[in-house]
Amino acid sequence: MLHDNHKPNYIAVEGVIGVGKTSFAEMLADRLKAELIAEEVHENPFLVDFYKQRKRYAFSCQLFFLLSRFQQQQQLMVRDLFAQRIVTDYLFAKDAIFASVNLSERELTLYDKIAPILSRDIPNPDMAIYLQASTPVLLQRIRKRNFTFEKVINSDYVEMLNQAYDYYFFNYTETPLLVIKTDEIDFVENPEHFDDLIEQIGKPVTGKKYYVPAGNVLF
């Protein structure tokens, strides 16, 4: 259980596509009796086309996600984050990771004019959790969940995202950060793995903390 004297009221869960961040965020919100705010992935009308033709639809897809996340974060701004517990399955600032990977130079220049204006008053979480996994494990999990539009995702793209995420969170200083290596754990099927992660979240985190669970089963 999280201890009241240092429990974070607003937790943002992050990780590369396929790592299990939405499943983990759902379970975490349920355990903490918190409200879950999930990014609107399947509502993006450009997402299917993006995976078919990344260069052509990257900016439209990116802009939809940016504005969708901004609208959700605006709702957070009018709430009392001290009285209500919140778990999100994304960190608003991570939008720039995808922009840097997918947008052309001209598109990125335009994006860099829009994003800072929107992010100006976005509230920071009390804690960010970065679920980390190797590229082969991410690909395995993507194939396992079997979303139709993700079948065209290749290892080169996942590796590129993985490197970009690692670089971003290696340099991340905005909030306390817990980095969890998830290659050998299955927090959905093995309750003890999830309980172990909850215990880690319940411990004080200042700055950056890395945790490698002693799991034994791939997700």
Active site residues: 89
Any idea which residue has 């052309």 for tokens? 104
Q: Is the dihedral of CA 124, 128, 133, 137 positive or negative?
A: negative
